[in-house]
């Protein structure tokens, strides 16, 4: 891998937020390829004693090679954040779809499809001896 910096990427809209920062869509300037950039704020990591967790997450994402689970494409550091550039899975997350379904829920074929994708993702993780809780 070639060394990358924040200037390697164009940053776009926020896709989600979490305990240590946010995830934004980003694009490699040289190729136009889209990714998701997970920015872990160093202050939050330090405040919550999450250094080992952040390193563990990076190491796990480096091992993942599955079309059902995001994986690490690049990583870089800024003064304020650790940035993990991940494969982008378009279409929103399952929580989003469940929330917008309402009381009716999914039709059975759609529920079976999502369950199968989850099983395939978990199987890929377990093959790498990664346990997802």
Q: What is the pLDDT of residues 23-73, one digit of tens each?
A: 999 999 999 999 999 999 999 999 999 999 999 999 999 999 999 999 999
State the alpha helices, DSSP H only, in the chain: 42-47, 51-63, 94-101, 108-127
Same domain, 104 and 73: no
Residue 49 annotated as lining a ligand binding site: no
Pairing of strands 21-28, 72-77: unpaired
This prediction's pTM: 0.88
Same structural domain, 75 and 94: no
Do residues 128 and 72 both lie within one domain?
A: no
**What CATH number does the domain containing 34 carry?**
3.30.200.20
> Measured in whole angstroms, how far is the alpha carbon of residue 12 from the centre of its chain?
15
User: In angstroms, rounded to a whole number, what is the distance separating the alpha carbons of residues 121 and 84?
Assistant: 20
Range of the domain at 113: 90-132
Residues 83 and 94 in one domain: no
One domain for residues 12 and 28: yes
């Amino acid at each position: 891998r070639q060394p990358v910096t924040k200037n390697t990427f164009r940053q776009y809209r926020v896709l989600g937020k979490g305990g240590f920062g946010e995830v934004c869509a980003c694009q490699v300037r040289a190729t136009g390829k889209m990714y998701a950039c997970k920015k872990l704020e160093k202050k939050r990591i330090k405040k919550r004693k999450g250094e080992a967790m952040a390193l563990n997450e990076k190491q796990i994402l480096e091992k993942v090679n599955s079309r059902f689970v995001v994986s690490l494409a690049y990583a870089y550091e800024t003064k304020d954040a650790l940035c993990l550039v991940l494969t982008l899975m378009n279409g929103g997350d399952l929580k989003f779809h469940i929330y917008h379904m309402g009381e009716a829920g999914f039709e059975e074929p759609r529920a079976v499809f999502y369950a199968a994708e989850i099983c395939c993702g978990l199987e890929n993780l377990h093959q790498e001896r990664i346990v997802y809780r």
